[in-house]
Amino acid sequence: QVQLVESGGGLVQAGGSLRLSCAASGRTFSSAIMGWFRQAPGKEREFVATISRSGGSTYSAGSVKGRFIISRDNAKNTVYLQMNSLKPEDTAVYSCAASHQIGAVFSTQALTYDNWGQGTQVTVSS
């Protein structure tokens, strides 16, 4: 079991940057695939980015590719989401999640994640 706590959200102008952090408790962090998802009001939850257990492989949604970077520090039990060139359409609650799916390098599917943080609000003004 991994407990996750996000931080770093806030209000930013379009074109600005934010870095989200997700701190994990428990000794299984390094064995978990990590992911970031977001949900805007009235919309379904959307995959943002995922990273492998070692951090050597990452994958991002097309809508954020080239702007958002996912990374992790297993020594600090933390995963990050660096968000650059933010747009108003990036406004959402961002949540990190941990997956212990066997055989996968990383995952874009929310159903494969078994631990979730409470989320942090990101608001981008135009």
Report pLDDT digits (tens) over 10-45. 999 999 999 999 999 977 899 999 999 999 999 999
From CA 103, how far away is CA 89, in angstroms rounded?
34
Question: For the chain, where are the E strands, in sequence order?
Answer: 3-7, 10-13, 18-25, 33-39, 46-51, 58-60, 68-73, 78-83, 92-99, 115-116, 120-125
Q: Are 49 and 36 in contact (CB under 8 A)?
A: yes
> So what's the pLDDT on residue 69?
98
Report pLDDT digits (tens) over 37-86. 999 999 999 999 999 999 999 999 999 999 999 999 999 999 999 999 99
From CA 69, how far away is CA 59, in angstroms rounded?
9
